[in-house]
Amino acid sequence: MILTCPSCDTRYSVDGAKFPAAGRTVRCAKCGHSWHQPGEGEAVPEIPAEAAPAPAPAEAPASDPFPVNPSPTRAFAPAAVASEPRTPLGPKLAVVAGWAGLIAVVLLIAVSAVRYRQDIAVIWPQSAGVYSSLGLKVNASGIDFRQVDYKRETEDGQVVLAVSGVIVNAGSRQLPVPQTVRVTLSDVSNHELYHWTFKPTATVLGPGQSIPFMTRLSSPPAAARHLEVRFAKDGP
């Protein structure tokens, strides 16, 4: 059975079998208008134009199966209004949280790879090439040279080149110190002019430990303009 409000044309669907045959006064849940609604078997009486308005309907008792002010969510819900199904928010939030967690993990790995690149290069020497291509300096051996300096001195009428610096363990664990250090002198075009080798004073260094070094060369080439200190791989 369909009820239509004479004031706002809102439609309500009710169970006609439960509606009184003699009809009853009902009220529109949308606009508040009240009217007498006959039952399905009762003819709708004509109301004279001069007829006085019907008195306000009394509130139905709690046991009345058809309340005066019906709730749209129950028996008198508007038949013309249909709500579209909505996608639950749970799956969407789970997807967003999953992507956020993945991005956080990737960022954490990237930060750790940069921060601990020296230790990674020592454990995995092949990664040194990757860091170098990214412009990040690493030492695959974990042992590095710091504070390298040189000066020219005169002893017994001869020029002496003194090279000094510090050998440092830049890793986080004890490492062996390569026992051959090579010093190379080159000209303005980086062509090698002369080189010599020496041995460090220690064989192992703990994390963060360092040892100083000093080596001297008498009568260095006058054309020498560049100096390089490194560990020799295959001896002198």
* Nearest one of 90, 69, 85, 218 to 155, comparing CA atoms: 218
Q: Compute the average pLDDT of residues 134-144.
A: 70
- Which of residues 207 and 59 earns the better pLDDT score? 207
Residue appearing with tokens 């006058």: 222
Q: Write down the pLDDT at residue 126.
A: 56
Q: Write down the pLDDT at residue 157.
A: 85
b/e map of 170-191 (b: 16 or more CB within 10 Å)? bbeeebebbeebbbbbbeeeee
Residue appearing with tokens 């020498």: 224
Q: Compute the average pLDDT of residues 203-213.
A: 92
b/e map of 32-46 (b: 16 or more CB within 10 Å)? eebbebeeeeeeeee
Q: Which domains does the chain have, with CATH numbers?
A: 1-83 (no CATH), 143-231 (2.60.40)
SS3 label, residue 161:
strand
| Gap between the Cα atoms of 54 and 43, Å rounded | 18
23 with 44: CB under 8 angstroms? Answer: no
Global confidence as pTM: 0.43
